[in-house]
Amino acid sequence: MVKVSVIIPVYNVENYLKECLDSVVNQTLSDIEIICINDGSTDNSLAILETYKNSDERVKVFSEDNSGQSVARNLGLKNSSGQYIYFIDSDDYIELNMLEELYNNAVSNNSDIVVSKIARFNNESSEIDYTKPGFDFDDKFGDVDYNHFTFNYKDIKPYVLNASFAPWMKLFRKDFLVNNNFYFDEHLVFEDVPFHVKTFLKADKISFAPDFYYYYRYNPSSTVNTASNGFDIFEIVDIVEDYLIDNYYYGEFKDEFDFFKSSQIINYILTTQSEDYFIKAKEEFSKMKLSNNHMLPDYIYDKFNLVLNSDNYFDYIQHQYDSRLTDMKSLQEENLLLHERSVELELELNCISKSNKKLSKENKKLSKENKKYKSKIKKLEKTNKLLLNSTSWKVTAPLRKFTNIFRK
């Protein structure tokens, strides 16, 4: 049994596949197997896989007709022999020490899942975005020894239903997945959503590796970003809801689920550009009551109500446009007020600057006069000292005493 099985679904990624594979075959943890699932690629992806297979015995290649990422991942999982399972998308890449760090963390913590951070990039920029790590458990738990620290879903409730769902920032114990029959729901996009929810809820021990190991490439042609796939979110929401109900989590997660359902459905109203999708969204929202849900952000609540108050998709778009136009006008008004206030402050600053210059001149004048007075005082003190030490002052001392007695 190898330590880690790396599962890579591959579909038409000839431009990025080598970068991905290089980051895996050159891992500092060498006791791994690399299971590549060619999902019916029509470009040069399979030839690239075969090249790596011929040069590295750890690389295994399976081919199937195009069936989707979920089927490919499940095929890889069923053919894996590793103690732990790691999934990576074939257009992304990982740090060379990622698997070693996550594996050591898993072993020392005896954890079912190890979570890490992701960075993001695109082909148009060399800059890497570290501002959205997916999981920021180091902010939550602070400076602890994460190689000897575990938690479960009760410690991170908001992350169960409203977090980064992707499996590629997590290392899974294979026995944990198999014993709970955790596989990806097939022939659906967003299949990683229920997989994430189920595994997070059932894991006895979750641990955290607080570094950026995964580099996610934003790819506009990804299946997730295809408008026609938006409808799958309704089925995904139903799968999650059924799991929560069947396993007695629903009452505990009612508010989180409402947030999850409303936000996920709202996310794809504009991208699908579909009247049928809008009608379905409105139908689902009409069954929900969010008035007492205090964890719901205002922008979700506003869009939720906007769907209910719109007659159709066009009406919704018009309301969105009107709302944004109102916001723009409001921002313009605020900007005008800020500009006017800025002018006022600049005038005040000029007045203060002039007063400051005047005061500075007066201060210099007073400083000179003060020096003169100090000089005069020193002269008078010197004169007074000479007088007190003079013979005439000492001789006339009895006379001054007699005069003082006479005055009394």
pLDDT in tens, 105-127: 999 999 999 999 999 998 777 78
* Whole-angstrom distance, CA of residue 85 vs CA of residue 166: 14
Name the phi and psi angles at 33, rounded to 5: -120, 145
DSSP letter string, 197-256: HHHHHH-S-EEEEEEEEEEEEP-TTSGGG-GGGGGHHHHHHHHHHHHHHHTT-TTTTHHH
Percent of the chain residues past pLDDT 90, beyond the cut:
67
pLDDT at 59 over 80: yes
Mean confidence (pLDDT) of the chain: 89
| 3-class secondary-structure state, position 115 | strand
Domain boundaries, the chain: 4-225, 226-309
Per residue in 126-182, pLDDT (tens digit) is: 789 999 999 999 999 999 999 999 999 999 999 999 988 999 999 999 999 999 999
pLDDT at 400 over 70: no
pLDDT at 407 over 90: no
Quick check: 46 and 63 in contact, CB under 8 A? yes
- The class that CATH gives domain 4-225 is alpha beta
Entry pTM: 0.79
| 3-class secondary-structure state, position 368 | helix
pLDDT at 217 over 80: yes
Q: Which two tokens stand for residue 3?
A: 């330590």
pLDDT value at residue 391: 72
DSSP state of 287: T
Per residue in 62-102, pLDDT (tens digit) is: 999 999 999 999 999 999 999 999 999 999 999 999 999 99
Angle between helices 232-246 and 254-267 (to 10 degrees): 170
Q: Which two tokens stand for residue 255?
A: 């508010």
Beta-strand pair 59-64/93-94:
unpaired
